Structure 1
């Protein structure tokens, strides 16, 4: 059975853009009035780390994909801890966990299998 690295690449893109869009929608539209901090500050804190590996991820750069996997772990930790603590926003945080895991596993397996083919 041949393992196609494209499947993992597309999984990582779905996780990346899902996390990116979800964080933007969550902090601007869905929970903007519940925030204790200004919306712009929340967007800078949450979305800026995702912008760092974006260009390399879109160009299929293995190093940028690996960094995206590392960055996704911070979103996983935040989502998992807050899901346990904050019952009011549990659904939002569960989606953050889901997208961060998609990004992590997609980029990890993409780097692993693309490294074997080159």
Structure 2
């Protein structure tokens, strides 16, 4: 795989997992396993995830960096709810943990590949001195 293909793959993977977290959060708190019957305001937890969508779509490096930190809040929630909720909430928590890990890895790889490809001024090798 060439570098451009890798960058596009990690970008699509980050976008898909971010969208998956948003959809999962809404469906989880409104229909599948809400805390209160009929849905709850906990569905608003997905709003912070909507903010980086534009940055990921525009391929902004800064967005990838801070999303890789934000995702750990959702990872923690997924871990706690996978451990403490009853079915189907615990399964949804496991899905959230998986999506968070995919998002983190996609963001980390994307940043790493782009930084590796960044053009740095090459420094000439020092010439060998002859005695």
- Do they fold alike, i.e. is TM over 0.5? yes
TM-superposed deviation, 1:40: 5.3
TM-superposed deviation, 1:49: 1.3
Structure 1 segments of 4+ aligned residues over 6 angstroms from their partners: none
Structure of higher CA gyration radius:
2
Q: What is the count of residue pairs matched by the alignment? A: 115
Change (3 A) 1:9 1:21: same
Q: Can you give the 5+ residue segments of structure 2 that lack an aligned partner in the other structure? A: 119-131
- Structure 2 residue 111 is the aligned partner of structure 1 residue 111: yes
Q: For each residue in 1:24-48, what CA deviation from the matched residue of structure 2 results, as whole angstroms up to 9, or x when unmatched?
A: 111111123xx1498452122x111
Q: Can you give the 5+ residue segments of structure 1 that lack an aligned partner in the other structure? A: none
Which residue among 10, 27, 43 is the counterpart of 1:8? 10
Computed over aligned residues only, the root mean square deviation of the Cα atoms, in angstroms, reads 1.9
TM-superposed deviation, 1:108: 1.0
TM-score by length of 1: 0.86
Which is bigger in relative contact order (C-alpha 8 A, separation at least 6)? 1
